[in-house]
Amino acid sequence: MLQKLLLNTTLKSICNIKCIRKFSDHSTISLPKRIFSGIQPTGTIHLGNYLGAIRQWVRLQEEENGIILSIVDLHSMTLRHDPKVLSENILKMTATLLAVGLDPKKVIIFQQSSVPQHTELFWYLSCISTMARLAHLPQYKEKSAQLKDIPLGLFVYPVLQAADILAYRATHVPVGEDQLQHLQLSQELTKMFNNRFKTKFPIPHAVITENAKIKSLRNPEKKMSKSDPDTKGCIYITDSEEEITKKIKKAITDFISEVEYKPETRPGVSNLVLMHSAVTGKPIETIINDAKGLSTAEYKHIVASEVNDHLSPIREKYYEYLDNPQHLLDVLETGRSIVTPIAEETLREVRKALGIGFNVNNKQMLSVNI
């Protein structure tokens, strides 16, 4: 189903993790055997999710058939949740993925909990994970610091993520930069499993783009995030034009009026330039040239207008899709029926490697050495 293809990519090592960054140089590597990624169903997506990860999926679907995308509902239970809101959010996320241009004839979209093999594999991987390693992960440290009673699910969350990836023997995982440490853990667990149980599962690679880290509009030192307490820091694709314009106008920049791209020293205005470049497809140099003579306040109007032009049609489609929940359920059910046999095949191999995969038709396997 998945053909080989060549992409303009270069191998790069970031944070000790093997990942593939899409650049426009001319080195080539052969991509991919299997692409897998996931997103939590927390309502709709923000511009960080969209530009950092989902747009990659939309582009990749033109080059590669059968990308597997999971709406990871189990991951969104690690903090207290409302069951009614979660089921609505699963459908909203399905509508969002279709609205941004993912085509269920080309990609496979499914709900994580509908494939129980994920949680089974999660248990096996938990048994080779160590508490010391998991306690080290930055997202756990950050989230747990705000809680008095830390749910176990929050702690073991990245092991479930590794299981998601391994269940499909994924080779390439397109994500934003905030997921790199989790991907590194997935690599380690797969290697450990292979070494201990003599299997040959592929080691997954992160695939990230230039837009892998879109920052908060209110705190450009931090990533744009749904959990940002300042809601003005985050642009949702369902925000109205007025809301988007207001948020961009209020974006924190600095006291220098000139429009420049200097992420280290001027993160606020650079974040706007990056967003502008990502939604228009214009190179950053062109944007800086065109903005010569404009103050950052004037420039914000242009960015708001470009972001609105890009998001308005997506927002319209989103509401159209939401009007037809049966279609959304059908998409998820089709996805489930396609991925379940793939995951089950992996689990059969895993169970066998672990010594629990008896085959009652194979008498030899049933003989016991006493």
Catalytic residues: 143, 223, 226
CB count within 10 Å of CB 349 equals 16
Contacting residue, 34, 213, 266, 315, with ligand TYM by CB under 6 A: 213
- CB burial readout 287-296, b (16+ within 10 A) else e: beeebeeeeb
Q: Count CA atoms closer than 13 A to 228's CA, side-chain side.
A: 21
Q: How far is the CB of 365 from ligand TYM (least distance, A)?
A: 33
Question: Nearer Cβ to ligand TYM, position 271 or 308?
Answer: 271
State the Cα angle at 57 between 302 and 271, rounded to 5°.
30
Contacting residue, 19, 31, 35, 39, with ligand TYM by CB under 6 A: 39
Q: Check binding of 296 to ligand TYM (CB under 6 A).
A: no
Q: Check binding of 310 to ligand TYM (CB under 6 A).
A: no
Question: Nearer Cβ to ligand TYM, position 143 or 300?
Answer: 143
**Of residues 269, 291, 281, the one with CA closest to residue 217:** 269
Q: Phi and psi at residue 37, in whole multiples of 5°?
A: -150, 170
> For the sheet containing 17-21, what is the strand order?
10-14, 17-21, 205-208, 172-174
Count residues binding ligand TYM (CB under 6 A): 26
Which residue stretch of 19-27, 37-45, 241-249, 341-349 sits at the interface with ligand TYM (rule: CB under 6 A)? 37-45
Q: How far is the CB of 36 from ligand TYM (least distance, A)?
A: 6
For residues 216 and 252, the answer to whether their CB atoms sit within 8 Å is: no
Q: Check binding of 165 to ligand TYM (CB under 6 A).
A: yes
Question: Nearer Cβ to ligand TYM, position 18 or 352?
Answer: 18
Contacting residue, 95, 100, 214, 235, with ligand TYM by CB under 6 A: 214
Q: Check binding of 161 to ligand TYM (CB under 6 A).
A: yes
DSSP-derived letter for residue 46 is B
Contacting residue, 94, 96, 111, 179, with ligand TYM by CB under 6 A: 179
State the Cα angle at 239 between 230 and 243, rounded to 5°.
70
> Measured at CB, which residue is nearest to ligand TYM?
52
Which residue stretch of 2-10, 17-25, 175-183, 362-370 sits at the interface with ligand TYM (rule: CB under 6 A)? 175-183
**Of residues 282, 300, 313, 274, the one with CA closest to residue 51:** 274
Question: Nearer Cβ to ligand TYM, position 228 or 306?
Answer: 228
**Of residues 167, 197, 129, the one with CA closest to residue 356:** 197
Contacting residue, 49, 117, 253, 308, with ligand TYM by CB under 6 A: 49
Question: Nearer Cβ to ligand TYM, position 85 or 256?
Answer: 85
Amino acid at residue number 76: S
Contacting residue, 9, 20, 22, 37, with ligand TYM by CB under 6 A: 37
Q: Check binding of 40 to ligand TYM (CB under 6 A).
A: yes
Q: Check binding of 67 to ligand TYM (CB under 6 A).
A: no
Q: How far is the CB of 143 from ligand TYM (least distance, A)?
A: 11
Contacting residue, 53, 107, 137, 279, with ligand TYM by CB under 6 A: 53
Q: Check binding of 188 to ligand TYM (CB under 6 A).
A: no
State the Cα angle at 101 between 99 and 106, rounded to 5°.
125
Q: What is the DSSP string of 205-255?
A: EEEE-TTS-PBPSS-TTSB--TT-SSGGG--BTTS-HHHHHHHHHT----S
Distance CA 115, CA 109 (A): 12
**Which residues bind to ligand TYM, rule: CB under 6 A?**
36-40, 48-49, 52-53, 72, 75, 161, 164-165, 173, 175-176, 178-179, 182, 212-214, 223-225
